[in-house]
Amino acid sequence: MWYNTKAAQILGIEYPILQGPFGGNLSSVELVATVSNAGGLGGYGAYTLSAQEIIEVDRQLKAATNKPYNINLWVSDHDAANGGVTDAQFEQTKALFKPYFDELAIPFPDKPAPFKPRFENQVEALLHLKPAVFSFMFGVPSADILEQCRKLGIATVGAATTLDEAILLEAAGVDMIIASGFEAGGHRPSFLTSAESSVTGTFVLLQQVRDKVKTPIIAAGGIADGKGVAAALALGASAAQIGTAFLACDESNALSIHRQMLFSDAAKYTTLSRAFTGRLGRGISSRVAKDMLGKEAGFLPFPLQTQFISSLRKAAIEQKKWDMILFWGGQIAPVLKHTKAGELMQAILKETTDYFNDLKY
């Protein structure tokens, strides 16, 4: 059957369908458990959580499913030199965003305190918890971390946006590689060159990686139904990771307006922007995202820009100024149909099975 792939074996799951993890508090235990209980692999994006919070989430996950699930972290979790910004940099950013703070009639936040890296502590918690799968983006964990995962039986999955990143991940010995295409919602997980120059589409990236790399590949970006899964498998993927379609389901932790936007006409247009976090991510086009294109030099480095923009985002939501927000989402949103994660999973499995069955006649 189409679902008996290497990826399904390594991940210990029935169907090679991964629910893409969402960072920034958009993951939910319910969504992860729904997908894992249906035979796929649910994923929890934990990069904003402290070690203690990860332990608590894991406790909830274990209570909600006895199937494998994935915990996801960001290997590189800040871009600021020494973790902070100068007063001059902060004044420049305030000047750039002043019209929006004025429009919402809110004061500027204080200069963000220097960021304290979290990855080492998070990984320590993860190794202690031993989830079936550890996926990561924005880099490659140290050889020591990967070795510990191997010893503990944790499958490792790294994200690549270019062929060179995939080759590096394979050389590091990860168990599986995500080919993360330009279409995908959320951040571009690039780590070798700039995200702006790592913009290959999913199906081209998948074929490039397939040609040069032996490690099983998970295709991510622009897949939302069984035809997409079948196409990814036909091009050499061993599994598909689906983000936007699961983010739009009721079980995700996205605001209801965010989920509504993904099903609205607005979702026909998306923008890659650094204005909302400091790193390049795709969301539904908005006035501020478009205004800020080309003005990246004035943004704070990740994640200080997220902190700077958070009061603006909060006020924009309160005042229903949706055009001042970037609602994360990928290019595939206009074809979404399902609002329940269980139904989405069943539809994907049926469509993929029907597709491959039809091919036999």
Give me the residues that bind ligand FMN (CB under 6 A), please: 20-23, 26, 45, 47, 72, 135, 137, 159, 180, 183-186, 220-223, 241-244, 247, 328-330, 332
85 or 324: CB nearest ligand FMN = 324
User: Structure tokens of 242?
Assistant: 């689906």
SS3 (DSSP) at 178 = strand
**At closest approach, how far in Å is the CB of 209 from ligand FMN?**
15
Please tell me the distance from the alpha carbon of residue 335 to that of residue 224, in angstroms, as a whole number: 8
Q: Is 146 helix (H, G, I), strand (E, B) or coil?
A: helix
Quick one: 316 or 332, whose CB is closer to ligand FMN? 332
- How many C-beta neighbours within 10 Å does residue 80 have? 18
| DSSP-assigned letter for residue 286 | -
φ and ψ at residue 341, rounded to 5 degrees: -65, -35
Q: What is the distance between the alpha carbons of residues 180 and 158, in angstroms, rounded to a whole number?
A: 10
Exposure letters 228-256 (e unless 16+ CB within 10 A, then b): bbbbbbebbbbbbbbbbbbbbbebbbbee
Choice between 71 and 300, CB closer to ligand FMN: 71
Please state the closest distance from residue 13 (CB atom) to ligand FMN, in A: 16
Cβ-in-10-Å burial (0-12, 13-18, 19+) of 214 comes to exposed
The letter for the amino acid at 299 is F
Measured between alpha carbons, how far is 119 from 240 in angstroms, rounded to an integer? 26
**Cβ within 8 Å of residue 270, ≥6 positions away:** 185, 282, 283, 284, 285, 329, 330, 331, 333
In 3-state terms, what secondary structure has residue 175? Answer: coil
Asked if 336 contacts 224 with a C-beta cutoff of 8 angstroms, the reply is yes
Main-chain phi, psi angles of 328, to 5 degrees: -60, 140
Quick one: 247 or 304, whose CB is closer to ligand FMN? 247
Nearer of residues 185 and 216 to ligand FMN, judged by Cβ? 185
Q: Of the two residues 104 and 199, which places its CB atom closer to ligand FMN in the complex?
A: 199
Reduce the DSSP state of residue 295 to 3 states and report it: coil
Which CB sits closer to ligand FMN, 222 or 301?
A: 222
If you write DSSP's letter for every residue of 208-225 in order, what string do you get? HHHHH--S-EEEESS--S
Which residue, 64 or 157, is less far from ligand FMN as judged by CB? 157
| Closer residue to ligand FMN in complex, CB, 85/220 | 220
Which residue has its beta carbon closest to ligand FMN?
Answer: 243
